[in-house]
């Protein structure tokens, strides 16, 4: 039996078409190997920059009060003012002995010495970034970061001589000075010149006739009876007023002896209430005004300067130092501080 040729050709063509169709249905197209955009964005967003570390906070700046031996009285006068000033301007205030300057902290900005001391030598070379103010120093010169406040004991002695002689009805004024004071001779001359600036030779009307003012000394290491003896020696010339030039002399036994003789006295510190009737006034060195000026100059980054402490009548007894006499004393004090009067040489 023979197949029809036409049928055979058609069957082969159909078979091949069927194979091609089956292959086309079962085949998978090739996959592109490219990263998914969404996945890339997510990965990028999860990467965080390193956190910045905060800078360390610098310690607050410090101000020191340094107290050399012998300057405790001045330190007590200025300590409260200094502490208030420092705290109000966000400084840390501390009190130190001079030996602590061997190791200065890096945040120390200003040092105030209540008196002269060897530690202040060559300051600008040793501590060029730290300011220095020295009180009661009559020899150190100012420099770029060093200011000096001169003391005024001779001016104080001069105006004390003027006031005690002004109060004395017959010019009979006197003074007791510390015998160990290195300026003793100048203090005595200043006191005498203060009285003579008022009254010239200051010769009294009544006996004993001696020229006033008169001065004497006391030994601070001695007994109170020794001080009373020094007063008695002066009072042989019938004193009417007396300048007690040292706080040591506010000793009740001495004040009692002076008051019994009806002698009025001028002091450097206000006495207790028991002695106010014979008390004239309290005459003090004004260091705070000069210190404030030096502080402001330092804060303004100005070069160091020499400042002069002033004198002030801190308190007074109006029964002794009446208004007219007070005004005359203040005018004379103003002329003295402004250089119109030279305390060691008067016309």
Residues 164 and 107 both lie in one domain: no
Q: Last residue of a domain, which of 95, 118, 150?
A: 150
pLDDT at residue number 25: 52
Percent of the chain at pLDDT exceeding 90 = 76
173-201 pLDDT per residue, tens: 999 999 999 899 999 999 999 999 999 99
d(CA 291, CA 307): 8
- The domain of 85 spans 62-150
Instruction: Check whether residue 249 and residue 127 sit in a common domain.
Output: no
* Residue 86 within any structural domain of the chain: yes
Instruction: Tell me the sheet residues that pair with 178.
Output: 218
261 compared with 35, residue with greater pLDDT: 261
| Same-domain check for residues 322 and 234 | yes
Q: How many domains does the chain have?
A: 2
Strands 214-218 and 241-244: unpaired
Residue 123 within a domain: yes
66 within domain boundaries: yes
Please name the residue ranges forming H helices in 102-223: 123-126, 153-167, 184-199
pLDDT at 3 over 50: no
Name every residue whose Cβ is closer than 8 Å to that of residue 246 and which is 6 or more positions away in sequence: 176, 177, 178, 218, 220, 268
Q: Would the pLDDT of 57 be above 80?
A: no
Task: Report yes or no on 282 lying in a domain.
Answer: no
Residue 232 and residue 86 share a domain: no
**Burial grade of 94 (CB within 10 A; 0-12, 13-18, 19 or more):** middle
Residue 136 lies in a domain: yes
Q: Please state, in angstroms and rounded to a whole number, the distance separating the CA atoms of residues 295 and 298.
A: 5
Structure tokens of 230? 């020094």
Asked if 74 contacts 135 with a C-beta cutoff of 8 angstroms, the reply is yes
| Bigger pLDDT: 286 vs 103 | 286
Q: Are residues 72 and 92 in the same domain?
A: yes
Query: What is the per-residue pLDDT across 58-101, written as a single tens digit (0 to 9) for each?
Result: 788 999 999 999 899 899 999 999 999 999 999 999 999 999 99
What is the C-alpha separation between 191 and 343, in angstroms, rounded?
A: 8
Q: Which of 150, 185, 214 is the last residue of a domain?
A: 150
Same domain assignment for residues 190 and 233: yes
228 and 88 inside one domain: no
- Together in a domain, 192 and 253: yes
pLDDT in tens, 223-240: 999 999 999 999 999 999
Closest CA to 268 of 337, 345, 187: 187
Q: Based on the domain organization, do 236 and 333 belong to the same domain?
A: yes
46 within some domain: no
Q: Reply yes or no on whether the pLDDT at 1 is more than 50.
A: no
Q: Tell me the pLDDT tens digit for each residue of 278-313.
A: 999 999 999 999 999 999 999 999 999 999 999 999
pLDDT above 90: residue 36 = no
Sign of the torsion angle spanned by Cα atoms 94, 98, 101, 102:
negative
Q: Looking at the domain assignment, is residue 184 inside a domain?
A: yes
Confidence of residue 103 (pLDDT cuts 50, 70, 90): confident
Predicted confidence band at 54 (pLDDT cuts at 50, 70, 90)? low
Q: In CATH, what number is assigned to the domain containing residue 73?
A: 3.40.50.2300
* pLDDT at 58 (0 to 100): 73
- What are the CA-CA distances from residue 65 to residues 26, 132, 214 (Å)? 99, 10, 39
Any idea which of 19-28, 105-114, 157-166, 265-274 has the lowest mean pLDDT? 19-28
pTM, to two decimals: 0.77
Out of 150, 180, 195, pick the residue that ends a domain.
Answer: 150
Contact 236, 174 (CB under 8 A): no
């Amino acid at each position: 039996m023979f197949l029809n040729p036409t049928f055979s050709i058609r069957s082969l063509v159909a078979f091949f078409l069927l194979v091609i169709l089956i292959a086309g249905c079962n085949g998978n197209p090739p996959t592109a190997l490219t990263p998914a955009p969404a996945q890339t964005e997510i990965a990028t967003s999860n990467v965080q920059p390193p956190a910045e570390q905060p800078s360390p906070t610098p310690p607050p700046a410090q101000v020191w009060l340094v107290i050399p031996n012998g300057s405790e009285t001045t330190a007590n006068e200025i300590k409260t003012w200094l502490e208030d000033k420092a705290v109000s301007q966000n400084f840390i205030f501390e009190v130190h002995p001079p030996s602590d300057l061997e190791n200065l902290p890096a945040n120390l900005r200003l040092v105030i010495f209540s008196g002269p001391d060897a530690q202040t030598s060559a300051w600008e070379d040793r501590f060029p970034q730290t300011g220095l103010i020295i009180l009661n120093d009559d020899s150190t010169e100012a420099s770029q970061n060093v200011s000096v406040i001169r003391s005024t004991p001779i001016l104080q002695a001069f105006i004390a001589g003027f006031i005690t002689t002004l109060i004395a009805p017959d010019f009979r004024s006197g003074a007791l000075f510390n015998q160990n004071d290195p300026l003793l001779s100048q203090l005595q001359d200043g006191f005498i010149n203060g009285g003579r600036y008022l009254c010239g030779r200051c010769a009294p009307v009544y006996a004993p006739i001696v020229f006033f003012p008169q001065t004497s000394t006391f030994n601070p290491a001695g007994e109170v009876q020794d001080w009373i003896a020094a007063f008695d020696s002066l009072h042989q010339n019938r004193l009417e007023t007396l300048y007690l030039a040292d706080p040591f002399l506010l000793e009740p036994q001495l004040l009692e002896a002076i008051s019994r003789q009806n002698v009025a006295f001028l002091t450097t510190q206000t006495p207790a209430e028991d002695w106010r009737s014979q008390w004239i006034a309290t005459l003090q060195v004004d260091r705070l005004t000069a210190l404030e000026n030096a502080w402001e100059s330092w804060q303004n980054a100005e070069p160091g300067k020499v400042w002069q402490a002033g004198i002030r009548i801190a308190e007074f007894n109006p029964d002794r130092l009446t208004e007219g006499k007070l005004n005359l004393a203040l005018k004379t004090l103003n002329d003295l501080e402004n250089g119109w009067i030279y305390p060691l040489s008067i016309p």
